[in-house]
Amino acid sequence: MLFNSIEFGIFLPIVFLLYWAMSKNVKAQNVFLLAASYFFYGWWDWRYLSLVLLCSITNYLAGVLMMKTDVRKRRRLILTVCCLVSFGVLGVFKYYDFFITSFVDAFSLLGIHLQAKTLHLILPVGISFYTFHTLSYTIDVYRRKFEPTKDIVSFFLFVSIFPLAMAGPIERATNLLPQIYRRRTFDYDLAVDGMRQILWGLFKKMVIADNCAALANEIFNNSANYSGSSLLLGAVFFTFQIYGDFSGYSDMALGIGKLLGFRFLQNFRFPYFSRDIAEFWRRWHISLNTWFRDYLYIPLGGSRGSQWQVVRNTFIIFLVSGFWHGANWTFISWGAYHAILFLPVILLGKNRKHTDTVAEGKRLPSLKELFQMAVTFGLVVFGWILFRAENITHAWNYVSGIFSASLFTIPTVHGVPNGEITLLFIAILLLVEWLNRQEQHGLQIARIKSSVIRWSIYFALSFIIWAFGGYKETFIYFQF
């Protein structure tokens, strides 16, 4: 059930009305929301609810068992078993075929031809997200950051709450569990802002991402037939496809949470306005990057050790991040590419240089800021080529095609309409988000006093979504 589907358009109002009808009883609300969340996830494939339940039960019991002992070795054993179960399930469904194929290919290079059977399992939607979701809870319990919950309904809801079930953000128990425990009362202003955020998410997904997807797919799938300028344009289209797709999903998830009285963690902060690669990674997929920082990078020593340790830790976190996205060498190469870009910034101690908002308090950026954003954006665009390519050879040929004499020709795209209008919509996206870059999302326009102007914006966006939106494309991050 997609957020932009007719089914969800029926599902959400029913859940909203029944949920707030129970506002005097938080336990009833939680039980109902848990049932609605399982229905939402099971709509895709009810069989994979068993994996959600396995992950929930394993981590819940791990928390309860760790609470009953102060013996460090026992606590560590419980955590280890929990991690093995969680990562084991993730590994079988997501990485087994990759490892088997890579193993066979490695021996083939040595002239040894092995036969191995792959599983060809369908990747359960959201498995990477709810696995990390629950493990953050268990690791924090092990570290004694908070007491484990004894409320099994609240914990199961924390794992599977439906706005986050498919593609995050990856919530922390320290933020979400207290909100689940306490009574929630309807907040009109919060709900209205949630509706705005949902509308902006729909625009980014259905207008930006889906139209960019059609153009990017045509160019990437037929890259040998296109000029260098068209290939570069295809990379730009994919750059906005993946941003519109994933940040659009995140906006909708956060907006739905607000309708239900929850405040989820922000997952994107206008990353394409970043002035260096470190700032980009502070603003892109924030929940995942902070997860790797807190549970992998810092335990490895972070940036506190020798230069060699800093280099090692940087490569580990980016390679793991790339591998998290998918079982393909292109994702690992994408992670390595960003590690190389990140190294000079962190080794020179400039990774925290740009923690403010670009051109804060100003309408336009300075020439220096504009240059920094353009360079950072260009580097990110070329990284997305690796991310989108079918394999390393395809990525190499694609980049080689860009840097040819045909780079200076007029780009064309065959057989796909709306190319020019999509560029216009991208310009609208950038303009709106630039004007609201200090806000939580692009359509946080409550400060506009005129209701006529506000409603004109809502109707204009709704019309654009209706007239130009795609209705068949799934969310790209569901595959991760």
What amino acid positions are annotated as catalytic residues? Answer: 325
SS (H, E, C) the chain: CCCCCHHHHHHHHHHHHHHHHCCCCHHHHHHHHHHHHHHHHHHHHHHHHHHHHHHHHHHHHHHHHHHCCCCHHHHHHHHHHHHHHHHHHHHHHHCHHHHHHHHHHHHHHCCCCCCCCCCCCCCCCCHHHHHHHHHHHHHHHHCCCCCCCCCHHHHHHHHHCHHHCCCCCCCCHHHHHHHHHCCCCCCHHHHHHHHHHHHHHHHHHHHHHHHHHHHHHHHHHCHHHCCHHHHHHHHHHHHHHHHHHHHHHHHHHHHHHHHCCCCCCCCCCCHHHCCCHHHHHHHCCHHHHHHHHHHHHCCCCCCCCCHHHHHHHHHHHHHHHHHHHCCCHHHHHHHHHHHHHHHHHHHCCCCCCCCCCCCCCCCCCCHHHHHHHHHHHHHHHHHHHHHHCCCHHHHHHHHHHHCCHHHHCCCCCCCCCCHHHHHHHHHHHHHHHHHCCCCCCCCCCCCCCCHHHHHHHHHHHHHHHHHHCCCCCCCHHHHC
The single-letter code of the amino acid at 470 is: G
Between CA 85 and CA 90 the distance in angstroms is: 9
Residue 446, C-beta contacts closer than 8 angstroms, at least 6 positions apart? 189, 192, 193
Angle between helices 173-181 and 152-160 (to 10 degrees): 130
User: What residue has token string 């859940």?
Assistant: 15
Between CA 375 and CA 381 the distance in angstroms is: 10
Between CA 348 and CA 351 the distance in angstroms is: 8
275, burial (CB in 10 Å: exposed 0-12, middle 13-18, buried 19+): buried
Q: Which tokens is 60 given? A: 């819940």
